[in-house]
Structure 1
């Protein structure tokens, strides 16, 4: 991928994928809570006509490449690799840019009002619908109550290492706070890398004895696979259990090449399914013999 192609990848799509919180729209501008820090008042603006951003809190702006370099703290070569591997499907060349209004997809600053043990029947039924073991879920997931635009909401929350929460329920998939990965340390010499907490819960539902055998690294966003080297360098075995879609396959191959000799692709544990949770929904644990 060259620089011109990279600059034509939609900034808004990248921001959506990393879980940035959209606050409001005004004509051709979209305002977000800055993905570079915690804040309650939006100071990060994207001009969708020019596909550029400006962060008023830092006095810094630029194009798609500039954003990726700043967000992932990498040089231009690595930024192009990230864009090619994770965001190339978001190119907006030859597309018509929509006109946005104040009524389009409004989101105000959020506030987390409480974090507690899972007990809401609606959320428990949501987890049951995904065939996840509730007692296992209660060890790692929370019931998070929050407000957006003065309206109250609740969801299943999974905490990341930057104190953000991945929020899920039947209707919502958002991140409150900074998008980051979650590292669960059992003092093991091996680590299992997964894309989402639901895959982690599904893996332990299928193989409960594995819970303390390995460490676990849940990316919470596939784009964060380029940020995990400081965590993974200590392991002698790395098991990759990413999604079986195109993006997951590209990331898997990239990581296999990087960690030759100590990494393994274990997606054959969930054949004919996009991920482990989908496999769990379609299949029962009976007959599954191979374990990590």
Structure 2
């Protein structure tokens, strides 16, 4: 494993979070942490997230992700690289490609409320932390290795899993219906993925009648619900502004009347969540 590649591809924030170390002060590009090798009342470890490096003003020592692991675990470079392997973005991307079947050969170890600092930070970075009660924290094992992520349950008992590096489904792929039982206007709002649904829940206002919500979890799942959409008098779409999103939107518009394209709200952004994050950061 190439040391320089690891230093560039593994986030220093993620490594620190793996040891439950969180910033005492931070802004968008830098942060101050308490020292790695001593107790102190004023944080002296300056972390530059852009350069992916840290500097201890108390000792004058510089750190990269490898030396941070060495310092905390008191280990060799070789052992530090083994530890960092699980955070290597290129490795995780290879393990998340479509040809790997995550519907088999996995074991869910634990399902609970979202507490892990890395997952808390991930939800905060997507500006949906207040909706954490709608998702779960999953710890699972695949190919003998342990992973964790944000889990969103679908209607077949499978979980959509997301974290900073991973986008997979454990178990059978399916949609997620959220039917409110008081839908007097007979409306359904459809989302491509669950982060857009969480975003909508952040910005929606009180309504006299609450519509049903449908999260496809993939545009490929439209075939499972096309006939079920016929009962609705109004269909509102929050799809991505990309090829798949536009094609799926057109298929629904061709089959149904009274379809509202809500992507016009975030026309200059990839999806609703990206628009919302940009909007919040400008406040």
Normalized against structure 2, the TM-score is what? 0.60
Correspondence for 1:245: 242
1:230 is displaced (CA, Å) by 3.9
Helix, strand or coil at the partner of 1:161: coil
Aligned-residue CA RMSD in angstroms?
Answer: 2.6
Distance 1:148 1:210, change over 3 A: farther
For structure 1, the 5+ residue unaligned runs are: 1-15, 23-31, 41-108, 288-292
Correspondence for 2:199: 202
Contact 2:230 2:256 in 1 (8 A): no
- Could you tell me how far apart the structure 2 residues matched to 1:210 and 1:122 are? 34
Distance 1:231 1:149, change over 3 A: same
Distance 1:206 1:212, change over 3 A: same
- Could you tell me how far apart the structure 2 residues matched to 1:253 and 1:234 are? 19
Correspondence for 2:219: 222
1:203 is displaced (CA, Å) by 1.2
Correspondence for 1:177: 171
Helix, strand or coil at the partner of 2:120: helix
Residue 269 of structure 2 is aligned to residue 273 of structure 1? yes
Correspondence for 1:136: 131
Q: Write out per-residue CA displacement over residues 108-149 of structure 1, whole angstroms, 9 at most, x where no aligned residue.
A: x111111111122211110001111x23232x1000110011
Larger relative CO (CA 8 A, sep 6+): 1 or 2? 1
Correspondence for 2:86: none
- Could you tell me how far apart the structure 2 residues matched to 1:211 and 1:251 are? 29
- Could you tell me how far apart the structure 1 residues matched to 2:202 and 2:192 are? 16
The structure having more radius of gyration, on CA atoms, is 2
Correspondence for 2:161: 167
Correspondence for 2:21: none
- Could you tell me how far apart the structure 2 residues matched to 1:117 and 1:210 are? 28
Normalized against structure 1, the TM-score is what? 0.59
Moved more, 209-218 or 176-185: 209-218
Residue 144 of structure 2 is aligned to residue 147 of structure 1? no
1:20 is displaced (CA, Å) by 5.7
Correspondence for 2:121: 125
- Could you tell me how far apart the structure 2 residues matched to 1:211 and 1:142 are? 29
Q: Write out per-residue CA displacement over residues 71-101 of structure 1, whole angstroms, 9 at most, x where no aligned residue.
A: xxxxxxxxxxxxxxxxxxxxxxxxxxxxxxx
For structure 2, the 5+ residue unaligned runs are: 1-93
After TM superposition, list the pairs within 5 Å mapping 1:26-45 onto structure 2.
32=101, 40=104
Correspondence for 1:115: 111
How many positions carry a matched residue from both structures?
186
Correspondence for 2:73: none
